[in-house]
């Protein structure tokens, strides 16, 4: 019994000594992940842009007209040209853009991130616009205007290139077959001679139709004029009723021609009012055509502000002058 206890003590000491000599295991630690690379690309706005400018005209009439830009970028700066159309009667638009007309104003711009600041090349005292660029679209606002003027432009992409057709080399034609011997035809009996017909008499060319002049037309009480809101060429519901009555008369009198005169009041430039009178005459013409009146019967002319119905400087008088007048002529 004593011997067994001694043996157990020796085994315990040996096991303890061996375990003290076993090296401790260590856990390997992965190296820290390197940060993701940061893109250094810069937004490029070079190219053509088209959209709208949204603001107000005289007496706070809302305006929504075409706008275009052509930009050339060099690094974070650039230059180009900006065009606002239809600004003749838009007091909210800076004067340097209004005077530019269809040729526009030369501009310079700075780009920081997606923020673009555009100024007249003569400096920000002429005008300045702050844009936010989102891909192929930029939205901006003109600084320091009495009424807000917003600009919305979208990039104009060039058309896709047309691939040239691939030339196809034709295969060589097979050799012609050997000729088949043919018996000679018998001689033909000569046909009797017939006298030639007399030469045709050349008919004179038809005389072209002469287009009637405005002096050939006259106003009649059965066909009445329609009127328009200030600086507008849209048919109002009340005037559509008048046009419906005109259509009924023209349907019952198909042997008549129609001349539509477009007029404007005295406010605005003469050139702008001449174009506005033409738009009003076209709006009345389009309504008649949509109701079945043939476009071949209708002629248009614009007098702008040259032929007013009254000359008083009041809203009631101006409302009478903003009109499309109908004149009739027999065919």
The CA distance from 82 to 97, in Å, is 8
Residue 58: which of 234, 276, 308, 268 has the closest Cα? Answer: 268
DSSP 162: P
pLDDT digits (tens, 9 = 90+) for 166-183: 566 666 666 776 666 655
The CA distance from 132 to 124, in Å, is 18
DSSP helix/strand/coil, 317? helix
Whether 255 has a pLDDT exceeding 80, the answer reads: yes
Task: Return the pLDDT at 159.
Answer: 76
Question: Can you give the pTM of this predicted structure?
Answer: 0.40
Mean pLDDT throughout 87-103? Answer: 77
The CA distance from 242 to 249, in Å, is 11
Query: What is the percent of the chain with per-residue pLDDT over 70, rounded to a whole number?
Result: 70
The CA distance from 215 to 329, in Å, is 10
Task: Return the pLDDT at 216.
Answer: 84
Which residue is associated with the tokens 């030469």?
Answer: 199
For 120, residues 6+ apart whose C-beta sits below 8 A from its C-beta are: 96, 105, 106, 107, 108, 126, 127, 128
For 269, residues 6+ apart whose C-beta sits below 8 A from its C-beta are: 88, 89
Whether 160 has a pLDDT exceeding 50, the answer reads: yes
- Contact present, 171 and 64 (Cβ < 8 Å): no
For residue 181, is it left (φ>0), alpha (ψ between -120 and 50) or beta? beta
For residue 60, is it left (φ>0), alpha (ψ between -120 and 50) or beta? left
Strand segments (E) across the chain: 47-56, 62-74, 77-84, 105-112, 115-120, 128-134, 137-142, 150-155, 226-227, 256-263, 298-304, 323-330
Most confidently predicted of 12-21, 36-45, 168-177: 168-177
> In terms of C-beta density within 10 A (0-12 exposed, 13-18 middle, 19 or more buried), how is residue 277 classed?
buried
DSSP 183: P
Task: Return the pLDDT at 127.
Answer: 86
DSSP helix/strand/coil, 5? helix
The CA distance from 113 to 40, in Å, is 11
Tokens of 36: 């993701």
The CA distance from 155 to 157, in Å, is 6
Query: pLDDT-based confidence at 138, cuts 50/70/90?
Result: very high
Rg of the chain over CA atoms, in angstroms? Answer: 43
Tokens of 222: 């059965």
For 85, residues 6+ apart whose C-beta sits below 8 A from its C-beta are: 65, 66, 67, 68, 102
């Amino acid at each position: 019994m004593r011997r067994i206890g001694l043996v157990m003590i020796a085994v315990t000491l040996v096991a303890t000594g061996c375990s003290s000599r076993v090296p401790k295991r260590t856990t390997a630690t992965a190296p820290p992940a390197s940060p993701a690379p940061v893109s250094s690309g810069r937004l490029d706005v070079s190219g053509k842009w088209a959209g709208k400018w949204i603001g107000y005209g005289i007496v706070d009439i809302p305006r929504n007209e075409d706008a275009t830009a052509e930009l050339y970028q060099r690094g974070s700066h650039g230059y180009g040209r900006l065009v606002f159309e239809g600004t003749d009667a838009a007091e909210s638009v800076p004067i340097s853009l209004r005077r530019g007309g269809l040729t526009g104003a030369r501009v310079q711009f700075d780009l920081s991130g997606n923020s673009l600041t555009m100024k007249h090349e003569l400096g920000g005292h002429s005008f300045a616009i702050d844009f936010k660029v989102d891909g192929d679209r930029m939205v901006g606002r003109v600084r320091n205007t009495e009424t807000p003027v917003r600009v919305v432009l979208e990039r104009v992409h060039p058309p896709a290139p047309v691939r040239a057709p691939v030339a196809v080399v034709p295969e060589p034609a097979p050799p012609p077959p050997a000729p088949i011997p043919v018996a000679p035809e018998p001689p033909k009996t000569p046909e009797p001679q017939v006298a030639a017909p007399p030469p045709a008499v050349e008919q004179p060319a038809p005389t072209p139709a002469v287009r009637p002049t405005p002096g050939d037309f006259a106003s009649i009480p059965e066909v009445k004029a329609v009127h328009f809101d200030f600086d507008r060429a849209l048919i109002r519901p009340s005037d559509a009723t008048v046009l419906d009555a005109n259509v009924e008369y023209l349907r019952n009198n198909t042997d008549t021609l129609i001349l539509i005169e477009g007029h404007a009041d005295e406010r605005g430039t003469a050139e702008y009012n001449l174009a506005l009178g033409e738009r009003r005459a076209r709006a009345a013409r389009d309504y008649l055509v949509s109701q079945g009146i043939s476009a071949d019967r209708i002629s248009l002319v614009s007098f702008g502000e040259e032929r007013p119905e009254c000359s008083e400087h009041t809203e009631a008088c101006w409302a009478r002058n903003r009109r499309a007048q109908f004149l009739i002529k027999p065919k």
